[in-house]
């Protein structure tokens, strides 16, 4: 099979042996695979794949057709359309994954949309609904609202009955983010639009002091992105006075059972909204697998709404 490979910070398209599914696993012919921030970090050598995942093939999410089942795998049939979160290896023509790490693809989604769905919507749902415990009528702030996780979080917040505000640095993208269901504002002075019950922090440490100042009493800050910096100075007295909570997580390194539970919740609560048309996956650009280097450059250039997706 052909696969995107990473070595010494360089991307290449290389031939790799076709994988074989083991017990409980399925072999998927990949049709589309989204690019995420973790892939950029892995290319730099800063975010290695977890044990058990291909160490040199990036890709945390994919969509495709089941072509083979390993012993005991019964959740999907050969030919079924599936999408999945994987620890790595998604940016290839074939991928092996446990059947519990996959979800069915709604008929309403084409391959690029399905290939860019799993990582960002499971991440956003786990963060704002699971950790943040967002409730109808509450106020949600999403930092980085034009990115993949940001656009997912804005739509999920709107669907949950929350009032959503999103910071968007690129002014030209604010109308499109507003169409997804948020009040789109500049990052500077975002606290003036609060207070917020839940803050989804996708940017990093520099935002956290202002996040706390803009937090409502009993509010929750959920940190899942640190691209702008990993450290923050925190006023603990202010945190105690607001009875606030700060939590954080990553999805990639979680055990299979935790990922599977997060995906079952998305299957039950989120996928029906795609079938009804209430949610969508904004795809900024599609690139064939052979042009992975160009796709990564487009991702890092910024100024995009939603996902960059590789197609086979």
pLDDT digits (tens, 9 = 90+) for 181-230: 999 999 999 999 999 999 999 999 999 999 999 999 999 999 999 888 89
Above 90 in pLDDT, residue 69? yes
Contacts of residue 96, defined as CB under 8 A and 6 or more positions apart, other chains included, come to: 19, 20, 21, 22, 25, 26, 27, 28, 89
Fold of the domain spanning 120-248: Rossmann fold (3.40.50)
* Contact by Cβ (8 Å): 284, 34: no
Confidence band of 302 (pLDDT split at 50, 70, 90):
confident
Closest-CA residue to 134 (of 221, 68, 206, 64)? 221
pLDDT at 188: 96
pTM of the full predicted structure? Answer: 0.95
Q: Domain spans of the chain? A: 2-117+254-311, 120-248
Contacts of residue 192, defined as CB under 8 A and 6 or more positions apart, other chains included, come to: none
Three-class SS of residue 200?
strand
> Distance (Å, rounded) from C-alpha 273 to C-alpha 278?
5
Above 90 in pLDDT, residue 68? yes
CATH number of 2-117+254-311: 3.90.180.10, 3.30.930.10, 3.30.360.10, 3.40.50.2300?
Answer: 3.90.180.10
pLDDT at 22: 97
Confidence band of 249 (pLDDT split at 50, 70, 90):
confident
Question: Tokens representing 299?
Answer: 């991702």
> For 133-159, what is the mean pLDDT?
97
pLDDT, tens digit (0-9, with 9 covering 90-100), for 270-282? 999 999 999 999 9
Cα of first residue to Cα of last residue in the chain, in angstroms, is 11
């Amino acid at each position: 099979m052909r696969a995107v490979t990473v070595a010494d910070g360089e991307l290449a398209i290389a031939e790799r042996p076709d994988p074989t599914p083991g017990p409980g696993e399925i072999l998927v012919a990949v049709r589309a695979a989204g690019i995420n921030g973790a892939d950029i970090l892995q290319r730099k050598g800063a975010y290695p794949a977890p044990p058990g995942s291909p160490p040199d093939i990036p890709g945390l999410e994919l969509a495709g057709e089941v072509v083979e089942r390993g012993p005991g795998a019964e959740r999907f049939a050969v030919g079924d359309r599936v999408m999945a979160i994987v620890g790595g290896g998604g940016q290839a023509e074939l991928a092996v994954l446990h059947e519990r790490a996959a979800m069915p693809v709604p008929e309403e989604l084409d391959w690029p949309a399905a290939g860019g769905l799993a990582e960002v919507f499971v991440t956003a749902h786990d963060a704002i609904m699971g950790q943040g415990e967002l409730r109808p009528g509450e106020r949600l702030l999403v930092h980085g609202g034009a990115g993949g996780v940001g656009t997912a979080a804005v739509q999920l917040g709107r669907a949950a009955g929350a009032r959503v505000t999103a910071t968007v640095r690129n002014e030209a993208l604010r109308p499109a983010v507003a169409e997804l269901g948020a009040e789109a504002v500049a990052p500077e002075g975002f606290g003036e639009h609060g207070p917020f019950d839940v803050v989804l922090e996708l940017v990093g440490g520099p935002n956290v002091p202002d996040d706390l100042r803009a937090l409502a009493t009993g509010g929750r800050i959920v940190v899942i992105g640190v691209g702008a910096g990993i450290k923050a100075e925190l006023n603990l007295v202010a945190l105690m006075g607001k009875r606030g909570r700060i939590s954080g997580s990553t999805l990639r390194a979680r055990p299979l059972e935790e990922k599977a539970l997060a995906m079952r919740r998305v299957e039950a609560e989120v996928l029906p909204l795609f079938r009804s048309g209430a949610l969508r996956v904004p795809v900024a650009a599609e690139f064939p697998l052979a042009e992975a280097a160009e796709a990564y450059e487009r991702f890092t250039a910024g100024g995009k709404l939603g996902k960059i997706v590789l197609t086979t």
